[in-house]
Amino acid sequence: MAKQDEVVSGKYFSDAALELIEQAVRDISFGSLTLVIQDSKVIQLEKLEKIRICDQQAKGSAKAAAKEPGGTGIRTRIIQSVSGMEYGKVAIQIQAGQIMQVERTEKYRVGKLTGLHGDGI
């Protein structure tokens, strides 16, 4: 892992939490993980796994596909997706054991905005 990734990951979650997230990504063949971020910390992990009855044979091949070379691909994607976020959610969509899409929803606290009541306008 690059030094900058270590600094960013330390700000958002501990190594144990990052390992838990990586393991959850590897365990899901079809589904999603949602990371909830508050005060620049990942405070919650929501896991939704879909079980496809017709694709039971593909499960073993999907697990093999989830193992990216060097083992850093998943970690890097997770760190990049949460970096710079103070409040919000990051939803990681997984299909056939691979990350297919990352949705980032950032929220801003209204109390920190200026110009809400005409001041500064």
Residues 109, 9: Cα–Cα separation, whole Å? 23
Prediction pTM value:
0.70
Give the pLDDT of residue 69. 44
The pLDDT tens digits of the residues spanning 52-71 come to: 888 655 454 444 444 444 44
Query: Is position 82 within any domain?
Result: yes
Q: How many domains does the chain have?
A: 1
Handedness of CA 22, 81, 98, 69 (dihedral sign): negative
The two beta strands, 41-49 and 87-95, are unpaired
Residue 97 · residue 63 · CB < 8 Å: yes
Query: Is position 42 within any domain?
Result: yes
Domain that holds residue 23: 3-106
Of 5 and 93, the structure prediction assigns the larger pLDDT to 93
Query: Is position 35 within any domain?
Result: yes
How much is the average pLDDT of 87-116?
Answer: 85
